[in-house]
Amino acid sequence: MTAAVTRISEDDGLRHDWTPAEVEALFALPFMDLLHQAHLLHRTHFDPNRIQISRLLSIKTGGCPEDCSYCPQSAHHATGLEREKLLAVEEVIAAAAKAKEDGASRFCMGAAWRGPKGDDFQVALAMIEGVKGLGLETCASFGLLSREQARQLKEAGLDYYNHNLDTSPEHYGEIVHTRTFQDRLDTIEHVQDAGLHVCSGGIVGLGEQARDRAAMLIALANLPHHPDSVPINLLIPIPGPPLAETARPDPVDFVRTIAVARVMMPKSFVRLSAGREGMTPEMQALCFFAGANSVFCGEKLLTARNASPQQDKGLFERLGLRPL
């Protein structure tokens, strides 16, 4: 039995036994009822006027051996993206210092790897030590990890590890063929066992059904511990990957996904993650009302454009949202 369907009742006052019927019923609630419930829970556990700000940097771009249908960095799709070498430690530390100046509290390093290997992993460990030395929270997204690699990351000063489930166990095989959903769960287990904070969420817009969104959130909430941070990405349709032509999801359904994540994982940070660039200020405000309380700021995500820093500044001022 996989962790996705294991019912674990931890004594943390949080639920780890969500059923598909319950979660599908949450998705089917009238929008106002769902938002009301999500917002009340949000206020119980968080200051609704504060958001956590992270900054992303791609430390190794393109040429990834995995075939994730959504990703511009996969070597399997002709995206026109240049394959780059691993950045130098000093470049990463300089970018992190700039992110700190710009108000980020966490610096997330992403790599187009199936998982870290050999000398590159040693360099990545040095990056983490250096960024941690600046007084920032550190996050890494390096793909699949062994138990030992998770331990070494913790020792280097890593705070968070990002490893998304991305979609439901049932839909996963349609989206990625070079690894399994269980591989992802195994890495999350290694990360949790190493004492690292887990950042794990998924993507809306992969041609999934409402029941897949429910199943993905169940897989996250029924883990032994809720992820500390739950990024909800809206697919950025980049020409090249097979999903580029998929119809864009209904924005109302996207907001519902944020709200249901908030209800199921009331103490986790829910991040309005990739895809903000194309969202109106009103849509983002609805997402924050529904329980999103974290974003990526900065011109760029990993390879794609992000919401502009000037627009973000204006939006947060208009909404009275202050960085944590």
Binding residues vs ligand DTB (CB under 6 A): 56, 72, 108, 110, 141, 162, 164, 201, 231, 233, 236, 273-274, 301-304
Q: Which of 149, 164, 192, 284 binds ligand SAM (CB under 6 A)?
A: 164
CA distance 9 to 87: 43
303 binds, among ligand DTB, ligand SAM, ligand SF4, none (CB under 5 to 8 A by kind): ligand DTB
First to last CA, the chain: 39
Shortest CB 41 distance to ligand DTB, Å: 22
CA distance 98 to 202: 28
Q: Which of 216, 274, 295, 297 binds ligand SAM (CB under 6 A)?
A: 274
Question: Which token pair is 205?
Answer: 């817009």
Q: Which of 184, 213, 271, 276 is catalytic?
A: 271
The percent helix, strand, coil of the chain (3-state, each to 5) is 40, 15, 40
- 287 carries an active-site annotation: no
Q: Which of 116, 130, 143, 201 binds ligand SF4 (CB under 6 A)?
A: 143
261: left (phi over 0), alpha (psi -120 to 50) or beta: alpha
Told to check if 108 binds ligand SAM by CB under 6 A, we report: no
Nearer to ligand SF4, 71 or 235 (CB): 71
Question: Which token pair is 248?
Answer: 């864009």
Told to check if 57 binds ligand SF4 by CB under 6 A, we report: no
Calculate the alpha carbon distances from 200 to 140, 141, 185, 227 in Å: 12, 10, 10, 6
Contact 66, 74 (CB under 8 A): yes
Q: Which residues pair with 272 in a beta bridge?
A: 232, 295
CA distance 277 to 308: 7
74 binds, among ligand DTB, ligand SAM, ligand SF4, none (CB under 5 to 8 A by kind): ligand SF4
Told to check if 110 binds ligand SAM by CB under 6 A, we report: yes
Q: Which of 62, 116, 130, 143 binds ligand SAM (CB under 6 A)?
A: 143
Whole-number CA gyration radius for the chain: 18
Contact 208, 237 (CB under 8 A): no
Shortest CB 150 distance to ligand SF4, Å: 17
List residues with catalytic annotation.
Answer: 64, 68, 71, 108, 139, 199, 271
Q: Which positions lie near ligand SAM, rule CB under 6 A?
A: 70-71, 73, 110, 112-113, 141, 143, 163-164, 166, 203, 233, 235-236, 238, 274, 302
